[in-house]
Amino acid sequence: PRQPSHPTGELAAMCLIIQSFHDHAGEDELLDKTELKRLLKTEMPGLLFSLDDQGSADKMSFPEYMTLMASFACACQGQVKSMM
């Protein structure tokens, strides 16, 4: 099948999530707590969160970031749906 000249909504969203991760991750391609907080404050300014949990890891890989984003999407689905 022929590829569309413009990405679909889902593909554009996926590209945006990937680009956002790489824009905020360090050269090691991991998000430390400071980078993650900056990403969330920049990309999701209304989101309340706490990353000061003593048991949390110091860095987050892209797969871990995607798990977090998927969790946010599931948790926010109702609110986003009502805004559409």
pLDDT digits (tens, 9 = 90+) for 19-69: 999 999 989 999 998 999 899 889 888 765 665 555 567 899 999 999 989
- The token pair at 11 is 């593909």
Rounding to the nearest 10 degrees, give the CA dihedral for residues 37, 38, 44, 49. Answer: 20
- Which pLDDT belongs to residue 67? 93
- Which pLDDT belongs to residue 39? 92
User: Can you tell me the distance from the alpha carbon of 79 to that of 7, in angstroms, rounded to the nearest whole number?
Assistant: 25
User: Can you tell me the distance from the alpha carbon of 22 to that of 1, in angstroms, rounded to the nearest whole number?
Assistant: 30
- Which pLDDT belongs to residue 4? 58
Which pairs from 36-44 meet CB under 8 Å and 24+ separation?
36/60, 36/65, 44/72
pTM of the model: 0.68
